[in-house]
Amino acid sequence: MERRDHHHHSHSELVVKSENNMANSTFITEDMLLTTGTASSIFDMIPCEGSGGDQKGSLGFMDLLDIHSDFGSSLFDWSQNPVIPLQQQQEQQQQLLLPSPTSSTVPESSEVLNNPATPNSSSISSSSNDAQGNKLDGGDHEEEEKDQDKTKKQSLKPKKKNQKRQREPRFAFMTKSEVDHLDDGYRWRKYGQKAVKNSPYPRSYYRCTSVGCGVKKRVERSCDDTSIVVTTYEGQHTHPCPITPRGSIGVLSESSGFGVASSSFVLPQAQPLAYMYSSSPSLNLSTSAASTFNPSSFFLRERHSTISPSPSSLLNDDYGLLQDIVPSQMRKEPKKE
């Protein structure tokens, strides 16, 4: 199952969706369309101007711009993002939480997954639900517990009766790709696969191989559009990107307030993203999770640093830095897949 033929496929599209768990269940929905330059690595994703404010009640980020024939011409301009008060966002979110029949490929509860506005485009949305204040569940902690009775896996007793299982923040991508498992710079070990209802394609479960890192991700192919791969990240890396020479910087991402959900794919080295994000007019939110996470800025930077040579008014200040931050090696996947 090698999928190493990455990086130079035909262009593909990317949809980003986040499930930030924010304290007090603050909701943020943020739809944007991103496009990937290649289908096998998120490092090659190119943010394009996407239509957000469609029927899903997204924030309505950008008008869709067909950049498929010219990556270099599509620049993500935050200055054009409509600024929507949080309260209004929440209202919109509530209106939008209606599950779309076609969004079944990403069954996260209360997730809003916008369908592609056009055959050539996809939209993203982010939402938060579960409060995150409690323990990070699902991955590490439970595993530690289970280590104890590992030998009798079936006899697991309810360990947390009153503790409702809470998920870590999630962040999902929809990527038009022939490759299922996108290269994001981290090493993953597959630990499960399940058939997806109403879909001929299975869903694969991966866990970060780094010790102590409980980040998980799910990969499945949309049954609506089999060319689209939905990758859902969950959790927060506790280590720098393993394939990055400057990974040491990565540890800063956590303390610097990068969103949990984003950390799964936000290169720790790309910490200056925070700057980018903070400059965003539309996401100046009070909740830490919301204010620290902005996938689009990540991609924007990635895009500029890895693909687009054209300067952006937004990135002028750190364009050079970005290039420095995301070295080309990063896309050289040392791992398989």
Partner DNA sequence: CGTTTTTGACCTGCGC
Partner DNA sequence: GCGCAGGTCAAAAACG
Judged by CB under 7 A, does residue 164 bind DNA? yes
Instruction: Say whether residue 159 binds DNA (CB under 7 A).
Output: yes
First CA to last CA across the chain, in angstroms? Answer: 7
* Residues comprising the chain, all counted: 337
Residue that has been written with the tokens 């903070």 in this structure: 278
Q: Which of residues 89-108 bind DNA (CB under 7 A)?
A: 107-108
SS3 258: coil
Site string for DNA, 182-221 (x = CB under 7 A): -----xxxxxxxxxxx-----xxxx--x------x-x---
> d(Cα 310, Cα 298) in Å, to the nearest integer?
17
Q: Among 45, 297, 262, which residue's Cα sits nearest to residue 174?
A: 45
In the complex with DNA, the residue whose CB is nearer, 30 or 333, is 333
CB 127 within 8 A of CB 111: yes
Nearer to DNA, 117 or 230 (CB): 230
Least distance to DNA from the beta carbon of 142, Å? 6
Nearer to DNA, 83 or 156 (CB): 156
* Closest CA relative to residue 293, chosen from 128, 84, 90: 128
Cβ pair 63, 26 in contact under 8 A: no
CA-based nearest residue to 204, from 187, 223, 217, 214: 217
| Residue range at the interface with DNA (CB under 7 A); choices 53-61, 71-79, 86-94, 154-162 | 154-162
- Whole-angstrom Cα distance, residue 246 to residue 124? 30
Least distance (Å) between residue 105 CB and DNA: 9
Q: Cβ of residue 161: shortest distance to DNA, in angstroms? A: 8
142 sits near DNA (criterion: CB under 7 A): yes
Query: Distance between CA 56 and CA 274 in Å, rounded?
Result: 27
Smallest gap from Cβ 177 to DNA, in A, equals 17
Choose between 210 and 323: whose C-beta lies nearer to DNA.
210
Q: How far is the CB of 320 from DNA (least distance, A)?
A: 34
Site residues (vs DNA, CB under 7 A): 1-2, 107-108, 138-139, 142-143, 146, 149-151, 153-160, 164-165, 187-197, 203-206, 209, 216, 218, 336-337
